[in-house]
Structure 1
Amino acid sequence: MDIPVGNKKFELSRGQATAILAVLFVGLVGLYGLRRDWGAAYGKIPKEGIVVQIPRGSSHREIAELLAAKGLVRSSLSFRILAARNFRRTLHAGEYMFEGRLSPKQIMRMLIMGRVYLHSVTVPEGYTIFEIADLLEKEGLATSKDFLEMASDPTLVRYLAPGAPNLEGFLFPDTYKFPKGIPPRRIAETMVKRFRVAWSKLSQDHSDAHLGPLGIVTMASLIERETAVAEERPRVASVFYNRLQDQVALGCDPTVIYALRLAHQYRGSLSSADMHFASPYNTYLHRGLPPGPIANPGAASLRAALEPEKTNFLYFVADAQGRHAFSRTLLEHNRNVMRYRQRRAEMNREQADAEPPLVPDHQQP
């Protein structure tokens, strides 16, 4: 076989020509095999899927070896070659959830698009920034310390509530989906944005506009922490507004709890001494609303703060059945308090009677 090179010709022996053809054949077969491998689903992935964390800064080789070790690709070398063919594309770091049998091409597409696994986290209505921080840490999305540090900066809500001391009240309770490694600021921004959407849907035409957005959100947070019964919220709001109008201290227990939490002194219950705890949040000591929200209210409590029921009530107390008894005078209120205590005592006796007696060890059969 003659092969022209410039003005010269080189003659290949039959053996050399055969060798070249063999190499080309093997190369073509290998390329065909690679293409088949890249397009074929592989791996025995369990029903719950396989979670893979791609560290930031990982090379193609490290990613390929990690995927092979997890049993997601047949060959790390094959995946590295596939990655080399996509050298213009970035393989994004992050946590990925692989479900069902996938081909290397499908996995490559996920990494190029950065389709990281999103963790669902539900923030209940009435959670404080402390409880949200603990929840995020439990879900592995942020440390409590980092999130609290972020939430202490009110910059994100300065446009709406210039006097807000922090982000309390503006982290809207809802279900969110976040990837691991997301900065705490991004989490806060997402929750504040959700608050803005909810706030924009509420009617701002109300009789207590003098409170302003910060006052309304603060009022809503008190309502949220006082009752979980939706239909009671406008009535609870009426009590607080009536007391504000009469310049009577609100006397809201949750504000005292919040004050103690801020000072890291809350022990799970309130004592009579706690009612005298020195704090601007203590609405037993100070008239008017506290300096800012004491929790993050949901849409129903925000609506109740904007549209309170019209009543003459000045007091309310729990009725030991999950609701509240409302009254207009202190005399009525004291009677309701007495009924509450009597009912609680009856419930404690009933519970004690229902429990089997303790049997000392030496009397057990």
Structure 2
Amino acid sequence: MIKRVWIIAAAGLLALLAVAAFFAAGWYGDADLDEDTAFIVPSGSSLTAVAAKLADEGYIGSADAFLLRAKIFGSGDPIKAGEFMLPAGSSPANILKTLQHGEVIRRFVTIPEGMPSILVHERLMATPLLTGDAPVPAEGTVLPDTYDFERGESRAAVLQRMQDAMSETLAELWAKRGSNIAVSTPQEAITLASIVEKETAVPSEREMVAGLYSNRVRLGMRLQADPTIIYPITQGKPLGRRIRQSEIAAVNDYNTYSMVGLPQGPITNPGRGAIAAVLNPADTSAIYMVADGTGGHAFGDTLAEHNANVAKWFALRRQRGEM
């Protein structure tokens, strides 16, 4: 009798072990992933919803079996929202671990310093993994930087982050402004910074260029910044040719060759460096500048100095065969 009980108990144990082995094999064995696969967990998704999504997309055989095994063998940690890379051959156990503890895939869109809003809009619209439409932002409201986003995120949401970043940066830098600035409001600071951004590609001379233009604003001189001629024509896109005399003489709200003071608004989206330069410009007497042939500028305090610098620039251009 005792022997029979032991036989029955042993058989039951073997049956339990067989069931456990079956469940374990289904949990730790390979899922239906023949290659590395991106998988998106929508924000707010439950494990039940994610299991159903995995089954619908063919990565697991059964959502119910996945959930049951997850309760028995898996961690109780919550899953994360976002896009994850599921490696080829991942088991259901590894899939759950990835969704609980893996790194969310981050994708990036870069807005260079000095990119006008019309091109910011074009870049966002050309980014294929974003969704929906976005308006052309007001000029000067986007902070140039590299922004990460998730697959399927809306373009409007990414644009809003860019604009929030500009608002935060401007507030931070305005609070640190120097006493020698020539602007009265944060908006004027952005407008002048947009000119500085377009007038020099050399970071080390931004403060000098800002100081020069600040002097001109205080003296009531025309800023005579070429990019302000181009902006009303192209909205900031490259002109692709020389500026015409008629365009230099044109009277509008931007052309600083035909008006005194700042244009009515920014002519591009200035970066943090240009904004900081306008709010802490170099202490200089310079009111003139001309290209020096190295990518930077030669600065002059007087018209005589400026004319000498211009003569050097023209001589260099003739030597290069450009004139």
Shift in Å at residue 102 of structure 1? 3.4
RMSD: 3.9
Matched, 1:146 2:130: no
SS in structure 1 opposite 2:133? Answer: helix
Shift in Å at residue 344 of structure 1? 2.3
Q: Structure 1 pair 137/94, CA: closer, same or farther in 2 (3 Å)? A: farther
For 2:177, give the aligned amino acid: Q
The equivalent residue for 2:107 is 119
Matched, 1:316 2:300: no
**Matches of 1:251 and 1:303, distance apart in 2:** 22
Q: Which has the higher contact order (CA 8 A, sep 6+)?
A: 2
Q: Which moved more, 1:197-206 or 1:322-331?
A: 197-206
Q: Structure 1 pair 194/348, CA: closer, same or farther in 2 (3 Å)? A: same
Which ranges in structure 2 are unaligned for 5 or more consecutive residues? Answer: 1-10, 72-76
Shift in Å at residue 29 of structure 1? 4.3
Matched, 1:288 2:261: yes
Matched, 1:51 2:38: yes
SS in structure 2 opposite 1:147? Answer: coil
**Matches of 1:181 and 1:37, distance apart in 2:** 32
Q: Structure 1 pair 187/322, CA: closer, same or farther in 2 (3 Å)? A: same
The equivalent residue for 1:303 is 276
The equivalent residue for 2:241 is 269
Q: Structure 1 pair 250/102, CA: closer, same or farther in 2 (3 Å)? A: same
Q: Structure 1 pair 64/42, CA: closer, same or farther in 2 (3 Å)? A: closer
Q: Is the 8 A contact 1:326 1:333 kept in 2?
A: yes
The equivalent residue for 1:76 is 61
TM norm structure 2: 0.75
TM norm structure 1: 0.67
SS in structure 2 opposite 1:81? Answer: helix
Shift in Å at residue 177 of structure 1? 1.0
Out of 148, 152, 167, which is 1:181 matched to? 152
Matched, 1:217 2:190: yes
Total equivalences in the alignment: 302
Q: Is the 8 A contact 2:197 2:274 kept in 1?
A: yes
> Identity of counterpart residues, as a percentage?
30
Q: Is the 8 A contact 1:169 1:295 kept in 2?
A: yes
Aligned 1:76-95 pairs, distance under 5 A:
76-77=61-62, 79=63, 81-83=65-67, 95=83
Which ranges in structure 1 are unaligned for 5 or more consecutive residues? Answer: 1-20, 69-74, 152-165, 350-365
For 2:149, give the aligned amino acid: F
**Matches of 1:293 and 1:99, distance apart in 2:** 47
SS in structure 2 opposite 1:132? Answer: helix
SS in structure 1 opposite 2:221? Answer: coil
**Matches of 1:258 and 1:83, distance apart in 2:** 59
Q: Is the 8 A contact 2:32 2:89 kept in 1?
A: yes
For 1:305, give the aligned amino acid: V
